[in-house]
Structure formats: C-alpha cells, structure tokens
Amino acid sequence: MGAQQAAPLPFKRPAAEVAGRFILRGLVRDNAGMSEAQQWKVIAGEAETRAAHDPAEGKGRGIVYVQAHGAGGSMDDRSTVAAARALRGCGLDVVRFNFLYREKSSSRPDLMPKLQACYAAVVESVRARLKPTRLLIGGRSMGGRAASMMAADGFACDGLILLAYPLHPPGQPEKLRDAHLASIGVPVLCFNGTRDDFCRRDLMEAVVARLPRSFTMRWLDAADHSFRVPKSSGRTDADVLAEVAQVTAAWLESSKI
C-alpha cells in the first residue's frame, strides 16, 4: 500500500564547554525578528560551525527539530528562518545550523559524507544540551535530502520533516533522488510546492505510491521551491507557512511522535 497523501485542511494565518563538543555563544536576536535564540559552537571533525535554538512558542511538545538549510542558503536565510518560525508555532523547538562550507562563507556545498558528518555532530550536541524527549531531523532541499539519507542508513531519530525535497535537478527529471526513501524506517512528512522546479509532481507521486504509508506527502498549492506563491494564486507566502504549521501539528498527533 502506498504512502499517505495528507488530506486538505482548513488553516488560519497564523558558557561552558560540554563534553568537548560545543560551547555556548550566548543569546542573539535573529535577523527576522524572532525571539532570542541561544547560539553555540559545534565541533565537527577538525572544523566548527554554529547552531541556534529557537524554543517552541507557547507550550512545547518536548520535541526538537534539527533543521538544515538548502545548498544556496544558511541557518539565517529567509526561507529557513520563516520555516522555523512556522514550526515553532505548532509546538516544536527548532535548532538551525550552518553546514561547514556555509560557515566558511563558501557557496560550494561540501560532498554528502561531509554534510552528513556535520549534521550528526549537530544532533549529538542537541541531544547533550537540550535532552529532547523526541528528535526530528530534516530541512530544506539539500539539507532535507542529507537528513533523509542519514535516516535511510539507520541514523537514530524519531521522524523527518522534509521541506522542498529535491527529487531531481531542475530540468533533469531523469536524475531521480528517490532510491533510498523506501529504506526510511520512521514517519516522514514531506512538503513540496506544485510549482517546484526540483520536484515534478507526477514523478513524485509515482515515487510516493511505492513508499510505506509512514511517508506522508503534502502539496502546497502554487508554491515554488522557496515556498513562495504568485499574487495571481490568491494566496500569500504567509498562507503557505500557516498551512505547513497546521499540517505538521496534525501529523505529529496522527503519527504519535
């Protein structure tokens, strides 16, 4: 039986070094006006990067979502911060971080093994510092793909949230990045826009039909790879993010994460 398709829902707008792995860097206010985020340094191999913890709004669920950025983004880019704000609104603590290449101000992504090693180091620091009852991984585009490959290889987590999963490079639908998805053994919630150049809908739906029911797909009407919508759609970017938050909240309940 194929994976679940999320049913349409109505929605409203809505200091000290520890274990030698990370060092508190203090409280900073992010560039999108969210509440103060606690930042710290993470040692990843012979390099280091930064992570930032954005606490859940209101009553949290005890769940931390470690959110990776896309290939051309960073922990502080518009799309990553906006998604973090939306997910905080449904009770998730969110930890954003930079991959090592981005922390060095490079625009060229590291190879996948190095991306995954950095991600694993961040998760290790999150478990030690925040002690979540449950931990989710995922992120935007390339970051979400890295997390999905880790999960398929058995990396310990309780679920994934994939934002704009890059099923194929733009204009190259024959180069599918789906072979590992069926090996993921935890619940997955995947969001893609219907105008996403990295994820042709008919191809993704064919993939989803072969996946376990624990993989839930949600299409965001008129949204592109950055979850932006044209004015002609009658929707706003804020509407899209409100939908992401509401669908995620329902998924958390139905998946019993």
Give mean pLDDT in consecutive 10-residue pieces for the chain, a chain of 257 residues: 55 33 43 64 96 94 97 97 96 98 98 98 98 97 98 98 98 98 98 98 98 97 98 97 98 92
Q: Which of 154, 156, 180 is nearest to 167 (CA)?
A: 180
Q: Which tokens sit at 143?
A: 């970051």
Q: How far is CA 167 from CA 92, 163, 208, in A?
A: 26, 11, 11
- Dist CA 13 CA 190 (whole Å): 20
How many domains would you assign to the chain? 1
Is 130 within a domain? yes
Is 1 within a domain? no
Q: Which tokens sit at 37?
A: 């985020």
Q: Which tokens sit at 183?
A: 């090996």
Is 9 within a domain? no
Is 3 within a domain? no
- The helix or strand, by DSSP H or E, that contains position 43, with its residue range, turns out to be strand 37-44
Q: How far is CA 199 from CA 35, 39, 95, 130, 176, in A?
A: 33, 33, 26, 34, 9
- Dist CA 233 CA 178 (whole Å): 30
Q: pTM, whole model, 2 decimals?
A: 0.88
Residue 87: predicted pLDDT: 97
Residue 37: predicted pLDDT: 79
Residue 101 is part of which domain span? 15-255
Query: How many CB atoms neighbour CB 16 within 10 A?
Result: 5
Is 6 within a domain? no
Handedness of CA 71, 77, 83, 87 (dihedral sign): positive
Q: Provide the CATH number for the domain around residue 215.
A: 3.40.50.1820
- Dist CA 222 CA 45 (whole Å): 41
Is 136 within a domain? yes
Alpha helices, H only, the chain: 78-88, 100-103, 112-130, 141-152, 201-208, 237-255
Is 241 within a domain? yes
Residue 60: predicted pLDDT: 87
Cβ partners under 8 Å of residue 203, min gap 6: 167, 168, 173, 176
